Structure 1
């Protein structure tokens, strides 16, 4: 085959997304640490990113390691200690991890690993089990005012955005935030099961984690933590219900400790390429995620600012 004919053939295959494996010989074999149990937002994000990396032909393969607990601190420690200098290692993280670090003060923090990119943003939604005698956020607030401990709030790890939001709600309606009864779960799957089983009074998480249960009537959505109603989602904000609480969630990805600036740049370029893929666009639409790509020094500063902002909110809400 003539060289020009071969190149045209390869270009056609690339456009169709069916390059032979040999063409991916120089693509990375990535390892993705997901510091949470299967079924939650980090798990969904990590696997969606892995699929996008392969769809964009930035990675030949992606393997996953779920290690839940302590708002991601257990997975973070394993990632930091076990992947030093590994330019093919990635870890999913986000606002929940920052909150967990602030409250738990684990021995290994984010300063031990390498920031790569913020990926998405999302607001939390609060839901009631379909069988709950409570019907609205006003009902929850009324019950909480009578007996704060009788309302069991279910969600992610201590320090998660839904935990912070619950404390903010309590404070906003005149209830001592230190008296809220918050039940932390190791992953979104566990929290979802507890809500569906009526083992907690009210649950909170990103809308994408509860969407299918809300649509099928197994959960009743009673409030979102956004400033304005979310497009295509008929759920009132907390603000329009007279509760002045707005808090967002976001998710990102970090690289291993000890990688070179060139390796960090290469990983960043891979992530950017993945976010331009069809697979990533489909994941954004399916999960209701808002694209929020940020890389480089801007992302470094964003994380520092988020630490300061969350710490201030948590202190004000009586969580520290």
Structure 2
């Protein structure tokens, strides 16, 4: 069992358009409504592939109830913490063959008592002994930039590995506190964390090793169309595949993380985990909205894994 925590969940509403004309009336050719939020996406991807996962999240208003109902439809167990504010909606416009435009709402603030209730719900799940806890996504106002650091302390007391996928001050606070099993930034989020541009493979590996030195075991860096880099104490690996024409990139990084966590063998090789992660992420970008891939969508044979990639390579040259 893998438990996920999404402090700032959403309904993801996506519209497909042939061409987006700013300032004009645009007509969609398709519409999608999916449960959203990074931790929720991880749970959805795991369950779609037959891996047990429970999602912990605050919910409020009609959209919160709709979100819980949608998760029930796809078989994701939910621990819903009632809050006063309404669950947000995020909006995505997908231009066919041209790209994705996303607008995320900030989310309703959490009161101190609601933060305490959310942490209590997480601790209740930790007491059941899950294989891992995933904390993911942005933090709403009122949660405090140290929320994930507090979650890490809870996980540590229960002996449960914490995997973190967030950015900005929340990521910086958690990395400073240490005790993380894995963090999954993209290259821009990692650059912000270390305070410098990351242009080459060596830049990313060195930045990841700075994070590891602060008390994190592994760093999985998603590179979008250029694959992903995994850095651990004993080495580094890159994985990627042939170019794709994406239907939607929303949630692909979350699905990548789910793929990395899916293997239940404690001794699974890092290269094998990374291959699965990238294969799941590649499958996700070929689906509309934030749809999750099934086993039939995943093609491990398309993914190449390279141990100790050339440090001199520019990230944009990886393929």
TM bucket by the smaller chain? under 0.3
TM-score (norm 1): 0.27
